[in-house]
Amino acid sequence: METSIILEKGQGEVVEKKSRFIATLVPVATEEEAESYIASVKKQYYDARHNCYAYIIGSNMEKKKCSDDGEPSGTAGRPMLEVLEKNGLTNALVVVTRYFGGTLLGTGGLLRAYQGAATEALKDATIAKKLTGRTFTIRCPYTMLGKMEHYAEGGKVHFLDREYGENIVLKMLCEEKDYENVKLDITEMSEGKIAPEDVTTTEYAASDGKIIIL
């Protein structure tokens, strides 16, 4: 399953029969980081009746946890976790704080409110697909730079860094599935004189043309 990560946190709010459901969606790298953030939210909203949460951590979404924090079982944490799962989010935590409005919402009402608040926070966040790629360097003459820049404009490769010396050293990135074709293209463009060096498998994300190495 393809996974996505949070680049910038999101916030959202749902009001249901005067009960306020305030949601925050943030990136977290470890369980300890998630638990620390949950504790900070509980401190911030110390006068709220409930601070429910759900999180997923790990490259393969292997660690999942959720809490109803006193709400009827299955009405808060699990619906919020489903929002994360449905969107393939990992290393992500959503916390929803509820201020009780005086009217009981029932099981269905609670489920919709918690899931709705989590969804609103997701809409506000900046999300990017998590990708596996290959970073590599090539050493090419200055006369070949224009050709490489034109090739990169096609979107198959990205420049990460350049070093200028006797030759130009280009550090580049491509998706893992494209690497063999990229390697072949470079070989053909250079008439067999250039081959990728220092090849490394890398996890990264792309958003608005920007590359974020994870």
Does the pLDDT at position 15 exceed 90? yes
* Chain centroid, CA 18 distance in Å: 33
Q: Are 190 and 200 in contact (CB under 8 A)?
A: no
Does the pLDDT at position 209 exceed 80? no
Residue limits of CATH 3.30.70.240 in the chain: 131-213
What is the predicted pLDDT for the residue at 104?
87
- Region 147-167: what's the mean pLDDT? 93
Fold of the domain built from segment(s) 131-213: Alpha-Beta Plaits (3.30.70)
The predicted-structure confidence for 126-135, as pLDDT tens digits, reads as follows: 999 889 999 9
Cα Rg of the chain, angstroms: 23
CA 98/CA 82 separation, integer angstroms: 19
Q: Which tokens in the block code for residue 134?
A: 């290959």
Q: Which homologous superfamily is 4-124 in?
A: Impact, N-terminal domain (3.30.230.30)
Residue limits of CATH 3.30.230.30 in the chain: 4-124
pLDDT classification of 213: cutoffs 50, 70, 90: confident
Q: Which tokens in the block code for residue 63?
A: 């660690």
Sort residue 169 into left (φ over 0), alpha (ψ -120 to 50) or beta.
beta
For residue 153, report the phi and psi dihedrals to the nearest 5 degrees.
-65, -20
Q: In this structure, are strands 63-67 and 50-57 parallel, antiparallel, or unpaired?
A: antiparallel
Does the pLDDT at position 35 exceed 90? yes
What is the predicted pLDDT for the residue at 1?
64
Burial class (CB in 10 A: 0-12, 13-18, 19+), 157: buried
- Region 93-114: what's the mean pLDDT? 94
What is the predicted pLDDT for the residue at 206?
80
**Other beta carbons less than 10 A from residue 46's beta carbon:** 8
With residue 74 as reference, give the H or E element that holds it.
none
Q: Are 201 and 176 in contact (CB under 8 A)?
A: yes
CA 180/CA 138 separation, integer angstroms: 15
